[in-house]
Amino acid sequence: MIYKGGVSYDLIAKARNQIRQVFKRNKLGYKIQSVFLELAHNILLHSEEKNNMGNDEAVGTLVLDEREDYYLLITGNVVSNAAVEKLLVHCEHINSLDRKDLVNFKIKLSEREIDKNSRGGGLGLVQIVLLSGNTLQIATERINDQSTYLGFCAKIFKEKAKKEAHKEAEMV
């Protein structure tokens, strides 16, 4: 699945329903759906590029790609240069944490007061890493003095999700 264009809540809901149909209701499907929602929501909140066709939708790219052992969920959109450095530091910190520290960091973020000027609390990227079980890849390409193209890539292994589901079934 590859999509480039205006991103709205309606589009995200339709894509989520398509993911649900393909993956049914299993652990892998839940992870893919949840990571997709977090990444797509980031485009809605942070894309500086807007659709000028009258509805001012955020513009971005959404990709769900199946490989032999894993799925890649990739998003890209234009953000302000001012936001990039802070975001890179935030991602570097998230990627440096183990699972236990990620959970504690998520709790800490959820308990702090939200900055009125902020468009998000920073929880989504932590949730992506927790759900995928892998670090979040990030790529940036400066466009001009105001804007940078930002790309995220989350990898979800097929086998890891199957093993986790099998472990949970054994516990029951």
Could you say which residues of the chain have pLDDT below 70? 54, 114-121, 160-172
Provide CB contacts within 8 A for 69, sequence distance 6+. Answer: 157, 158, 159
Q: Are 38 and 153 within 8 A, CB to CB?
A: no
| DSSP state, residue 24 | T
**What pLDDT sits at residue 160?**
62
What is the per-residue pLDDT across 77-107, written as a single tens digit (0 to 9) for each?
A: 999 999 999 999 999 999 999 999 999 999 9
CATH number at residue 149: 3.30.565
In angstroms, rounded to a whole number, what is the distance separating the alpha carbons of residues 52 and 79?
A: 17
Task: Find the helix or strand (DSSP H, E) in which 61 lies.
Answer: strand 58-66
Counted domains in the chain: 1
In angstroms, rounded to a whole number, what is the distance separating the alpha carbons of residues 142 and 79?
A: 10
Q: The domain containing residue 110 runs over which residues?
A: 2-171
**What pLDDT sits at residue 115?**
64
In angstroms, rounded to a whole number, what is the distance separating the alpha carbons of residues 38 and 138?
A: 15
| DSSP state, residue 25 | T
Q: At what angle do helices 27-46 and 123-132 cross, to 10 degrees?
A: 160
What is the per-residue pLDDT across 144-153, written as a single tens digit (0 to 9) for each?
A: 999 999 999 9
Q: Which of 124, 116, 114, 110 is nearest to 41 (CA)?
A: 124
